[in-house]
Structure 1
Amino acid sequence: MSAKPEDAKIKLPPQTAPADVLFAMRAFARTEDANCVAHKLASYIRLISSVINLERLDGVTVAYDYDAALAELDRGVEGLRTLARSNDDQLVGVAMSPAVLRDGKVKVHLVFSGAYIESIDATPEEDDAEAQSGMQQAIYLIAHECAHVQVTTEKDEAFPGTIFQKQVSSYEEQIFTQINEACWDEYAACRFSAPFGSGHLAYYEEGLRGVVGVARQKAAAARDGFWKHRDLNRIVGELGASMSEPLRMTAYTFGHIDGSNGDAEISQETRQAIEEAGYTEAIEKLVAQLRKLWDERGEWMFPSEFDVLGDVARELFYEEGLLITPNGEGANIQVWDPAMYDGPVAA
Structure 2
Amino acid sequence: MDANSKTDEHASLSWEDRPSTCPDFVVSFRGYEQEAAETLGAAIGETLRAFGRIMDISNLDGVTVGYDYDEALAQLDRGYETNFVLERTNGVAIGVAMTPSVLRGESLKSHIVLAGHIADALVGNDVELRSMTVHTIAHECSHVEITAAWEKCFPGELLRTRFPTLLTAWRSEVTSACWDEYAACRISADLGYDPVPGYTQTFLTIFSGIDKKVGELVGGFDGTNVDQLVGSLFGAVGDLMKFACYLQGALAGTGRKLDDVPDASSALSAHWFSPYFDRLADACNEIFSEFGRWPDKRQFEVISDLVVEIIEDQAVTIWDHEDGSYSVRIHHPRLFL
State yes or no: 1:31 paired with 2:18: no
> Where does residue 220 of structure 1 map in the other structure?
215
1:46-57 equivalences under 5 Å are: 46-57=49-60
Return the match for 1:154 from 149, 152, 160.
149
Q: Check conservation: 2:283, 2:302, Cα contact below 8 A.
A: yes
Find the aligned partners of 1:151 and 1:224 in 2 and give their Cα distance. Answer: 39
Shift of 1:138: 0.7
Aligned to 2:123: 121
Match of residue 114, structure 2, among 104, 112, 115: 112
For 1:274 and 1:331, locate their aligned partners in 2 and report how far apart those are by CA, in whole Å: 35
**Secondary structure at the counterpart of residue 222 of structure 1:** helix
Match of 2:247 in 1: 253
Q: 2:17 aligns with which of 9, 12, 15?
A: 12
SS at structure 1 position matched to 2:327: strand
Cα distance in structure 2, aligned partners of 1:172 and 1:264: 32
What does residue 61 of structure 2 align with?
Answer: 58
Work out whether 1:267 is the aligned partner of 2:261: yes
2:293 aligned to which of 282, 294, 299: 299
**Alignment-derived partner of residue 172 in structure 2:** 177
Aligned position for 2:90: 87
Partner SS, residue 25 of structure 1: strand
Q: Structure 1 residue 167: deviation in Å?
A: 2.0
CA distance 1:32–1:293, change in 2 (3 Å):
same
Cα root mean square deviation, aligned: 2.0
TM-score, structure 1 as length reference? 0.87
Q: Distance in 1 between matches of 2:193 and 2:257?
A: 9
Between structure 1 and structure 2, the one with the greater Rg is: 1
Distance 1:312 1:333 in 2: 19
Residues 199 and 246 in structure 2, CA contact (< 8 A), matched pair in contact too? yes
1:103 alignment partner in structure 2? 105
Q: Which range is displaced more, 318-327 or 60-69?
A: 318-327
Unaligned segments of structure 2, at least 5 residues: 1-13
Who is 1:3 aligned against?
A: none
Identity %: 27
Q: How many residues align?
A: 322
CA contact (8 A) 1:56 1:107 kept: yes
Displacement after TM superposition at 1:237 (Å)? 3.1
Partner of 2:77: 74
From the superposition, tell whether residues 199 and 11 of structure 1 become closer, same or farther in structure 2 (CA, over 3 Å): closer
Q: Which residue of 2 aligns with 1:136?
A: 131
How far off its partner does 1:229 sit?
A: 5.6
Cα 1:313–1:69 shift into 2, 3 Å: same
Work out the CA distance in 1 between the residues paired with 2:279 and 2:165: 26
Asked whether the 8 Å contact 1:101–1:107 carries over to 2, the reply is yes
Shift of 1:265: 6.0
- Select between 250-259 and 320-329 the one with higher mean Cα deviation: 320-329
- 2:9 corresponds to which residue? none
TM superposition shift of 1:162: 1.3
**Which of the numbers 207, 212, 226 marks the counterpart of 1:232?**
226
Q: CA 1:197–1:276 in structure 2 vs 1: closer, same or farther (change >3 Å)?
A: farther
C-alpha separation in 2, matches of 1:293 and 1:46: 27
Partner SS, residue 103 of structure 2: strand
* Deviation of the 1:239 alpha carbon: 2.5
Q: CA deviation at 1:238?
A: 2.7
